[in-house]
């Protein structure tokens, strides 16, 4: 996914807090009245990924829109194409292409496709008897279309395990960004499965290498609604656990998923 969680503190802080609290309240009410069992989630609409793949010869196509808001900057990924293809049972190829509108201090800086992300996921443990877990590598590289500065390479490791009524997903990855210091990204996610609705939640952060610092801790909640075996709708909202002028303080995403 071409998720770039970057910056948000808030000119509209009170309204953002209200939106986040309402969404969290909605999900809690849903859980209390309709919960049946817990089931592990897939990305999107969360930031972290899991070891799942589409299967041999299958396509998973996500068409999304997202907002990252900060005190000084708003970045709309007006449309984000996230296209995945299954090669065998355990391998997935991915292409991400975002159309971005970037605003800084109320002035539009950029409009257009600003880069492309390519990735390949391989699930090397598949519910093994030894670990009872799925584990995958998912190396990804992001190429900006203008110049070489800002190239990003991510090497994450995903883990997923299910119990009789509970599932967890976790991801940790090292991030190399051209022109910036290296860091890690870490996330833990959970979902509640309600027939065709999945209620989702995650904690996600970036970790600076030196000095050690949880640079971008945030919580994210959302849901995915499976309208049919081939078509789903989803959305999520997230909020930073810190307030920084140059980091994302509010995040939202919505989209549709096609399985072909």
Average pLDDT score, the chain: 81
Question: Residue 107 has what pLDDT?
Answer: 77
Among candidates 223, 254, 239, which has minimal Cα distance to 31?
223
Q: Which residues contact 193 (CB under 8 A, 6 or more apart)?
A: 36, 37, 38, 39
Give the three-state DSSP class for 157.
Answer: strand
pLDDT digits (tens, 9 = 90+) for 56-94: 999 999 999 999 887 777 888 999 999 999 999 999 999
In the predicted model, is pLDDT for residue 29 greater than 70?
Answer: no
| Dist. CA 224–CA 235, nearest whole Å | 7
- Residue 143 has, within 13 A of its CA and on its CB side, a CA count of 7
pLDDT digits (tens, 9 = 90+) for 96-149: 999 999 888 777 878 889 899 999 999 999 876 556 789 999 999 999 987 666
Domain ranges of the chain: 13-259
Which residues are paired to 251 by β-bridges? Answer: 68, 238
In the predicted model, is pLDDT for residue 37 greater than 80?
Answer: no
pLDDT digits (tens, 9 = 90+) for 192-222: 888 889 989 999 998 876 555 667 789 999 9
Verdict on whether the full-model pTM lies above 0.85: no
Question: Residue 209 has what pLDDT?
Answer: 63
Kindly indicate the confidence band of residue 3, based on its pLDDT and cuts at 50, 70 and 90.
low
Question: Residue 128 has what pLDDT?
Answer: 63
| Dist. CA 97–CA 79, nearest whole Å | 8
Mean pLDDT of 232-246: 85
H helix or E strand, kind and range, residue 16: helix 13-34
In the predicted model, is pLDDT for residue 256 greater than 90?
Answer: yes
Q: Do 76 and 101 contact (CB within 8 A), yes or no?
A: yes
Question: Residue 200 has what pLDDT?
Answer: 93
Superfamily of domain 13-259: monomeric porin ompg (2.40.160.40)
């Amino acid at each position: 996914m071409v998720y770039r969680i970057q910056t948000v503190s808030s000119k509209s802080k009170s309204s953002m807090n209200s939106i986040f609290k309402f969404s969290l309240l909605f999900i809690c009410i849903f859980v209390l009245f309709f919960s049946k069992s817990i089931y592990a989630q897939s990305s999107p609409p969360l930031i972290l990924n899991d070891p799942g793949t589409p299967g041999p010869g299958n396509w998973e196509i996500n068409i999304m829109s997202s907002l990252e808001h900060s005190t000084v900057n708003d970045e709309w990924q007006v449309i984000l194409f996230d296209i995945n293809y299954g090669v065998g049972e355990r391998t997935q190829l991915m292409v991400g292409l975002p159309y971005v509108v970037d605003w800084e201090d109320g002035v539009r800086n950029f409009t257009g496709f600003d880069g492309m992300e390519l990735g390949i996921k391989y699930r090397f443990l598949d519910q093994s008897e030894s670990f009872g877990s799925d584990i995958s590598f998912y190396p990804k590289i992001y190429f900006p279309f203008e110049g070489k500065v800002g190239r990003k390479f991510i090497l994450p490791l995903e883990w997923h395990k299910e119990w009789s009524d509970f599932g967890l997903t976790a991801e940790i990855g090292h991030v190399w960004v051209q022109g910036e210091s290296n860091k890690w990204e870490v996330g833990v996610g959970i979902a509640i499965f309600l027939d065709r609705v999945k209620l989702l939640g995650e904690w996600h952060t970036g970790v600076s290498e030196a000095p050690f610092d949880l640079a971008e801790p945030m919580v994210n909640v959302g849901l995915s609604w499976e309208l049919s075996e081939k078509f789903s709708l989803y959305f999520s909202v997230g909020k930073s656990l810190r307030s920084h002028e140059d980091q994302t303080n509010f995040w939202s995403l919505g989209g549709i998923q096609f399985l072909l």
